[in-house]
Structure 1
Amino acid sequence: MAAANYLRSEDQFLCSLCLDVLTDPVTTSCGHNFCKTCITEHWNTNDRFLCPLCKEAFTTRPDLRVNTLLSEMVSQFRQSAQQDASSSSSEQQVSKPREVPCDVCAGTKLKALKSCLVCLVSYCETHLEPHLTASGLKRHQLIDPVENLDSRMCTKHDKPLKLFCKTDQTCICMLCPVLDHKTHEFVPLKEEYEGQKAKLGKTEAEIQQMIQKRRLKIEEIKRSADLKKQERAEKQAQAFIRELEQEISELMKRRTEVEQLSRFEDHLHLLQSVQTLNTNQPPATRDWTEVSVPPPSYEGTVRRAVAQLEEDLSKEMKKLIKVELRRVQQFAVDVTLDPDTAHPKLILSDDGKQVNHGDVKRKKIPDNPERFSKCFSVLGEQSFSSGRFYFEVQVKGKTGWDLGVARESISRKERIIMSPANGYWTVLLRNGNEYKAPGNRLSLRSQPEKVGVFVNYEDGLVCFYDVDAAALIYSFTSCSFTEKLFLYFSPCPHDGGKNSAPLIISPVRAVD
């Protein structure tokens, strides 16, 4: 209990200059305490003799003597803290090989719990306590324990690396822009870290797509070789497959590296690792687009083989889409409809999860600027200006609907053509079986009963999925998003009761 009491009052034993426990404490005439060495060095480097805390000026340099009473209290505090550390060390884990040890522990090194980027020291649970309780130390930045903290210092100026030079692609300290990088472009580490995180996410998606294409290519080559039934063709196919499998292995290794790197929360560690591994670019691979094993020219055999290949590829693609769906479903958001945007003839459920079209305009509905006046449409209450999000909508029993996202500045008082140029990224159904995207008529194997919509704001990607069939309906790529995006819904006119079923925002459940 004594140690706990000391820790709770530790602020009174800290020097405001070095933010550490006082050493040879001295007291100025204004009543403030400092380490004797700290205040001496402070006055040695200044023309005026001011108190660093209250700024009281002294006409002559004060003759400072060690405060005996305070010195004894500090000594008792240190002894109590050491005893507390000794009694608790047995309950903590001793540092093992490949684990970061505590830099403060004397003798047996305990496992570090955190590393301080200000002190450049790693601490076990006991020695970390002052950073969690002392007001001066609470401002220090703590991260998961890392080794080689000295590498976080500028080798030229001995200052912490806090900036990133975009010109030289290297981490620099606060003095570097003044002395060595005067004409260079530099940004805070955090800003460059966030940019690199986004690039890593895009690279990971590209690598996954490359892996999928090579797996499909292997199946295509195997099928062609089976049809050929010639030794030369089989050897050629085996050589291609070995090369493809090697590329897949390299791609999977790179994907793992990128995935692990993207989890780093330490800004400096991620940036230094990106420069070392060069993971923003997928590894060099062969273009397999035109590579094939020529099949025999037997028309009937070829027709049957092609049909079998299409079936196999369809099954494989369905598996891949299921994996992709499970991944994007992790970004599910809770969506509700915004009644202030709904056309007066639309009927919204009390919980904001369903909408359908009615015959009569609702009474006493204000014609506010956000409300649709010509189109039977409604927006979601939530808006998004970054990141990734996903939602699902039940469309079962409907002969017409529109779904997607729209930018904030769309026109809501007139009828317009829905297209990316006008701020809409949507897919629609007409006449019960005509599926369309802007400028495209879609051919679907089955009629979706539940549609999933995924958006990656930074990558400019909008994807629509048939959730139950685990099939991709359509994708908008290379979109340029510069405004807030809102979720867009239109149940379309009820068509004499044929299209009276509502659109229902459904809770997201992982596909089987």
Structure 2
Amino acid sequence: MAAVINLLSEDQFLCSICLDVFTDPVSTPCGHNFCKNCITQHWNTDDKYQCPMCKKVFYTRPELQVNTFISEMVAQFRQSAQQKASSSSSQQQVSTPGDVPCDVCTGTKLKALKSCLVCLASYCETHLEPHLTMSGLKRHQLIDPVENLEDRMCTKHDKPLELFCKTDQTCVCMLCTVSDHKTHDVVPLKEEYEEKKAELGKTEAEIQQMIQKRQLKIQEIKHSVDLSEKDADREIAEGVQVFTALKESVERGLNELIKMIKAKQRRTQKQAEGFIEELEQEISELKKRNTEVKQLSHSEDHLHLLQKFPSVKDAPSTKDWTGVSICTTSYEGTVVRAVSQLVETLSKEMKKSLEAELKRVQQYAVDVTLDPDTANPYLSVSDDGK
């Protein structure tokens, strides 16, 4: 029996109604074989008892019995097919995260090679064979394996989404074009796919240009910071050189100068860091969007591209950086002003010292003469301390 099974083709075990391997095969009086359930439902829905193959009409409904011989051959055939599947599955790739698994495999799922838009299922190499060899299944539309096949079917007519309605910007099936979209501008998916793919190319170029502009802006900001740091370092060095010569009485002024310059620099640095952080965040978002656009633009899946296109066609909302720049802090004249202030401070301190000394002299005169009138404001201390 096994040798005979190997000589028979798979088509000889297919029911002409369901196009699948026989289940409980029965024979009609005219000699044709069908699944018991298939021919029963066929006659239940038809107004006459007619053979689907030769169209012979029976005036009374034939009493059908399971053909045990064919049933045994089908069982042998299924067993042989399972053995072949087990043998070939060991050589096929096991489905891993990110792969589309075979919907027919039980236990360990193998990686699917194709998805069928008619069966709404994905198949590994073994389970795909009927679609490549059986006449009834060869007419089915196969595509590269994808998930969520139900999303590729019209929810209203249960037909494949093969067209695109430009009027409503949505994917439709053939029946939609004669109902809800009858007067709309409808084109094949491939035509709209090519158009949207071209738009994605433009979007990608625009995003790349935006990234380049922001990278240039970062360089500009960093350059401004470098100049500011150099100016600050130069002014600090000059301040140190000037104030160091003033010894301890002048060190307080030097520290105040340094503190002031560094405070200005910190404000500039903080502003620059804020701009850079914001720009880098925008670049990160743009790169992410660019990756999505690039991946989508390389997709060969017409429907997937069209469904994802509205969410990635436009660049993400970003800030207009055209007028943004870092105003380099000017330290011009800082040292001069500080020295002038120091001189003024020293002058005030000297004046206070002179006034204090004058009061001391005046008090000395009062103490000596016991007469306040003799304490002339212009009295000065002599060399001998009198």
> Residue 282 of structure 1: CA displacement?
0.8
5+ residue gaps, structure 2, are: 232-263, 332-386
Using the alignment, how far apart are the partners of 2:294 and 2:8 within structure 1? 42
Q: List runs of 5+ in structure 1 lacking aligned partners.
A: 299-512
Question: 1:181: how far off?
Answer: 4.0
Q: Which protein has the bigger strand share?
A: 1
C-alpha distance 155-5 of structure 1, shift in aligned 2 (>3 A): same
More helix as a share of residues:
2
- 1:236-292 Cα distance to aligned partner (Å, 9 max, x none): 3332222221111111000111112223323233333334xx101111112222333
Residue 482 (structure 1) aligns with: none
Q: Is it true that 1:11 corresponds to 2:2 in the alignment?
A: no
- Distance between the aligned counterparts of 1:7 and 1:223, measured in 2? 81
Asked if structure 1 preserves the Cα contact closer than 8 Å seen for 2:50 and 2:58, the reply is: no
Q: Distance in 1 between matches of 2:4 and 2:223?
A: 73
Q: Over residues 115-164 of structure 1, what are the superposed CA-to-partner deviations in whole Å (9 max), with x where a residue is unaligned?
A: 22221112223222222332332332333333333333333444433333
Q: CA 1:194–1:27 in structure 2 vs 1: closer, same or farther (change >3 Å)?
A: farther
* SS of 2:321 mapped into structure 1: coil
Q: Give the match for residue 279 of structure 1.
A: 312
Which residue of structure 2 lines up, in the alignment, with residue 63 of structure 1? Answer: 62
3-state SS of paired residue (2:312): coil
Query: Where does residue 109 of structure 2 map in the other structure?
Result: 109
Cα distance change, pair 233–61 in 1 and its aligned pair in 2 (3 A): farther
Is the aligned partner of 1:155 residue 2:155? yes
Distance 1:72 1:170, change over 3 A: same
Aligned: 1:255 with 2:290: yes
Are residues 53 and 199 of structure 1, via their aligned partners in 2, closer, same or farther at CA, if it must alter by over 3 Å? Answer: farther
Q: CA deviation at 1:180?
A: 4.0
Do the aligned partners of residues 27 and 206 (structure 1) sit closer, same or farther apart at CA in structure 2, a change above 3 Å counting? farther
1:288 aligns with 2:321: yes
Deviation at 1:212, TM superposition (A): 1.2
Rounded Cα–Cα distance in structure 1 between residues aligned with 2:34 and 2:328: 87
- Name the aligned partner's letter for residue 253 of structure 1: K
Q: Do 1:27 and 1:64's aligned partners in 2 also have CA atoms closer than 8 Å? A: no
1:204 and 2:204 are equivalent in the alignment? yes
Instruction: Give the superposition deviation at 1:61.
Output: 7.4
1:36, CA displacement in angstroms? 4.3
1:119 corresponds to which residue? 119
TM-score computed with the length of structure 1 as normaliser: 0.49
Q: Kindly indicate whether residue 259 of structure 2 is the aligned counterpart of residue 235 of structure 1.
A: no
Q: Distance in 1 between matches of 2:146 and 2:296?
A: 14
Instruction: Sort the Cα spacing of 1:181 and 1:3 in 2 relative to 1 into closer, same or farther, 3 A.
Output: farther
Preserved contact between residue 3 and residue 81 of structure 1 (Cα < 8 Å): no
CA drift at 1:80: 0.9
**SS class of match (1:161):** coil
Partner of 1:486: none
Q: Check the 8 A contact 2:221/2:272 in 1, yes or no.
A: yes
**Deviation at 1:91?**
3.7
Deviation at 1:43, TM superposition (A): 5.5
Match of 1:129, SS state, is helix
Distance 1:178 1:250, change over 3 A: same
Q: Say if 1:63 and 1:114 are closer, same or farther in 2 by CA, change over 3 A.
A: same
- Aligned ranges for residues 422-461 of structure 1 at < 5 Å? none
User: What's the secondary structure of 2:171's corresponding residue?
Assistant: strand
TM-score, normalised relative to structure 2:
0.63
Structure 1 consecutive aligned stretches of length 4 or more whose deviation exceeds 6 Å? 2-5, 28-31, 47-51
Higher Cα Rg, which structure: 2
Deviations 1:358-389 (A, max 9, x none): xxxxxxxxxxxxxxxxxxxxxxxxxxxxxxxx
Shifted more, 62-71 versus 202-211: the winner is 62-71
